[in-house]
Amino acid sequence: MEKLKVLGLALLLAGGGLAQTLVEATAVAALASSLDPAVRLPSGTYKARSPEPLLQRFPEAKGYALEAFVAKGIASRLHAAFVQQVLTAFAAAGYFVESREEKVVEGEVRTKYLLKDSLGRPALLVVVRKGEELVYGFGKRK
C-alpha cells in the first residue's frame, strides 16, 4: 500500500513537470507571421499565447514588437534543421542575418539573430532550445 502511494505521488509530480513548457501554445498552427505575412513559417509551428517568456530571456527584445512561436512534434526534435528552415523562410521574405549570438543558460541554448529587411530596417529572431522544446520569436523594431 505504501509503495502505491509513493508511485502515485511520483507519477503526479512527473506529470506536472512534463506539462510545464517554455511557452504555452495555442491549438492553431501558424502559417505566416502576423508582423510580415510574406514570412512563411515551417510546418510544425504553432502560435504561442504570449511572448513574455522570450522577453524574459532576451531583455533587449523589449524594443521590438515580438510574436512567439513553438515547434511541435517531429519539428521540435530536429532543432538545427528546423532553425535553418526558419532562417530560409526569413531570407525568402527579404530578411537577412546581420549577426548571431548564442549562449547556454541553465541548459537552454539561447540564440539571437539580428536581421535586416530589404530596406535596411532592423528585425530580431530569437530561438530557445531546451531538451525537445524549441521556441522562437520574431520582431520588428517598434
How many domains does one find in the chain? Answer: 1
In a domain, 113, yes or no: yes
Which residues span the domain enclosing 113? 20-141
- Supply the pLDDT for residue 4: 37
- Supply the pLDDT for residue 14: 38
Place of cell 515580438: 66
The structure's pTM equals 0.78
In a domain, 128, yes or no: yes
φ/ψ region of 73 (left if φ > 0, alpha if ψ in -120 to 50, else beta) reads: left
Q: How far is CA 28 from CA 4, 24, 25, 33, 73, in A?
A: 39, 12, 8, 13, 14
Q: Per-residue pLDDT for 5 more than 70?
A: no
pLDDT digits (tens, 9 = 90+) for 15-37: 333 334 666 666 567 778 888 88
- Supply the pLDDT for residue 23: 67
Q: What is the CATH number of the domain that holds 71?
A: 3.40.1000
In a domain, 35, yes or no: yes
In a domain, 34, yes or no: yes
- Supply the pLDDT for residue 95: 94
**Within the chain, how many helices (H) and strands (E) appear?**
4, 7
- Supply the pLDDT for residue 139: 93
DSSP-assigned states of every residue in 90-134? HHHTT-EEEEEEEEEETTEEEEEEEEE-TTS-EEEEEEEEETTEE
In a domain, 66, yes or no: yes
Place of cell 541548459: 107
pLDDT digits (tens, 9 = 90+) for 47-90: 888 899 999 999 999 999 999 999 887 777 788 899 999 999 99
